[in-house]
Structures are given as structure tokens and as C-alpha cells.
Amino acid sequence: MNNPLVQVDPGLYVWTILTFLVLLTLLAKFAWGPLLAAMAARQDAIRKSLDEARQAKQELERLNVESARILAQARIEAEAILSATRSDATQFREELKQQARAMRRNPTPAQAALWERLKDKQCGFTFNREVVMGSAIVDFAAKTRWLVVETGGTGDPGGEDAEATLAALSDRKLSEVGVRVLRFAEEQVLGDIEVVVKAIKDELQKPFEKPRTAKGARR
């Protein structure tokens, strides 16, 4: 006995198949191709982005390696420069010390005469002779009073007297760091040493501001 609920209409069945085939043909012709093309283009774009990202990563790694190499080379060169500078500074200071020792052994008449009045705290304070201060050698220095006494170089620093010009430059550099400088002509030391010694004693007794450190504390 046939069930009318499950009976299939052959005409409807054929019509359904034909409709599906027509729809599938239309999709394949008008939609499926562009969709596949869009998907392929998207895939290509993703692949290209991945390739670019991989290349960028490789380039970054290369730059990091190159930067590390350059930095290491710069450190080596900087250390070499600092080492050479320290060596040159040490050598220069040693040469100054040797020159100072030679000058102590061979003082000028004015230096010898003035030293006889400054040594052994005759003016109330300790003086040292031929003292290295920075890049200069000063005749006499009372370090606790920040006082330097020089002989010679009292000519016209603006003229053709090279010694006077160098002396003025040295005095200015010392003054800029807080050192007081007294300079006397050799003729004055040899001809009127009492006046010279009195001027030194008077300067030693004057109050003065000690130079300050970078933090502002007195040294």
C-alpha cells in the first residue's frame, strides 16, 4: 500500500534539479570566479605581508648586529683615546715635575734672594718653590693661603715682550680658579727686597674666599 505522504512528483523533482543546476551555473559564471579571485588575491596579500615582515625582522636583526659591532668598536676606540690622553697627561705632568726640579737647582738671582726670605715660615706660612700648578710652574706658593708669588714677566703684556704676555696669561688662569698672584720685577726683588717681603706678608694676612667645589662646599 502506497503512502501518499512520501510520494514524489517526478516533474517537481526534475524541476528542482534543473533549478539547482541553473543556479550553480550562474554562481560559477558570475560569483564563484570573482570570489575565488578575491580569495586568491587575499592569500597573495597575506603571503606578501608575511614575506615583508620576515624581511623586516631579518633586517632588524642585521641592524642590531651591526649596531652592536659599531658600539663595541666605538668603545674600543674611546678607551684607546682615553688611555692615550691619560698617558700624555701623565707624561706631561712628569715632564713638568722634572722641569721644576731643574729650576730649583738653578734659580735666578731674584728667586734665590726671595727664597731666603720665604723659606722656613719666615713670613708666618709655609712656602714651596717651583710648584707645579695645572700646566704651569710657579716660583713660590703658599698653598694654605692660595697665594702665588712670581718674579719677572712684568713688562708690557700687550707689546712684544713674550715673557710678559705668557706671565699675564698664567696669572689670569690662576686667578680664574681662585689663586691670588703677586708678581714682582726681578730688579725690585734684588734692589728693594724689604718692600717685596712686606707686600707678601700683607697679602698673606688678608682675608680671602677659598674656591668652591662643584657642589658649593668650601675646600
Task: Work out the number of other CB atoms within 10 angstroms of the CB of residue 139.
Answer: 25
The reply to whether 87 and 111 lie within a common domain is: no
Question: Does any domain span residue 213?
Answer: no
| Those residues with Cβ within 8 angstroms of residue 34's Cβ, 6 or more apart along the chain or in another chain | none
| pTM of the entire predicted model | 0.58
Whether residues 112 and 93 fall in one domain: no
In a domain, 43, yes or no: yes
pLDDT in tens, 85-125: 777 778 888 998 999 999 999 999 999 999 999 999 999 99
Which of 48, 63, 97 delimits the end of a domain?
97
Cell 570566479 belongs to 33
In a domain, 210, yes or no: no
Average pLDDT, the chain: 82
Give the range among 37-46, 68-77, 193-202 with minimum mean pLDDT: 68-77
C-alpha dist (Å) from residue 70 to 61, 80, 198: 14, 15, 63
143-169 exposure pattern, b = at least 16 Cβ within 10 A, e = fewer? eebbbbbbbbbbbebeeeeeebbebbe
Q: Do 73 and 111 share a domain, yes or no?
A: no
The amino acid that residue 187 corresponds to is E
> How far apart are alpha carbons 213 and 65 in whole angstroms?
43
User: Looking at the domain assignment, is residue 177 inside a domain?
Assistant: yes
- For residues 126 and 90, membership in a common domain is answered with no
- Do 111 and 93 have their domain in common? no
**Co-location of 201 and 111 in the same domain:** yes
Q: Specify whether 112 is located in the same domain as 82.
A: no
Q: What is the pLDDT of residue 147?
A: 95
Same domain, 125 and 76: no
Q: Which of 73, 97, 121 is the last residue of a domain?
A: 97
In the chain, the number of structural domains is: 2
Which of 78, 97, 116 finishes a domain?
A: 97
Range of the domain at 22: 8-97
Geometric angle at alpha carbon 64, from 79 and 50, rounded to 5°: 175
Taking the C-alpha atoms of residue 70 and residue 60, their distance in angstroms, rounded to an integer, is 15
- Is residue 211, in this structure, part of any structural domain at all? no
Are residues 89 and 112 located together in one domain of the fold? no
Confidence of residue 217 (pLDDT cuts 50, 70, 90): very low
Claim to verify: residue 111 and residue 75 sit in the same structural domain? no
CB 157 within 8 A of CB 168: yes
Angstrom distance (rounded) from CA 109 to CA 134: 25
Domain shared by 123 and 84, yes or no: no
- Same domain? For 111 and 90 the reply is no
Kindly state whether residue 190 falls inside one of the protein's structural domains.
yes
pLDDT at residue number 13? 66
pLDDT band at 126, cuts 50/70/90? Answer: very high
Does 102 reside within a domain?
no
Q: Is residue 2 one of the residues assigned to a domain?
A: no
Spatial CA neighbour of 110 closest among 165, 184, 201, 199? 184
The CATH number covering residue 150 comes to: 3.40.960.10
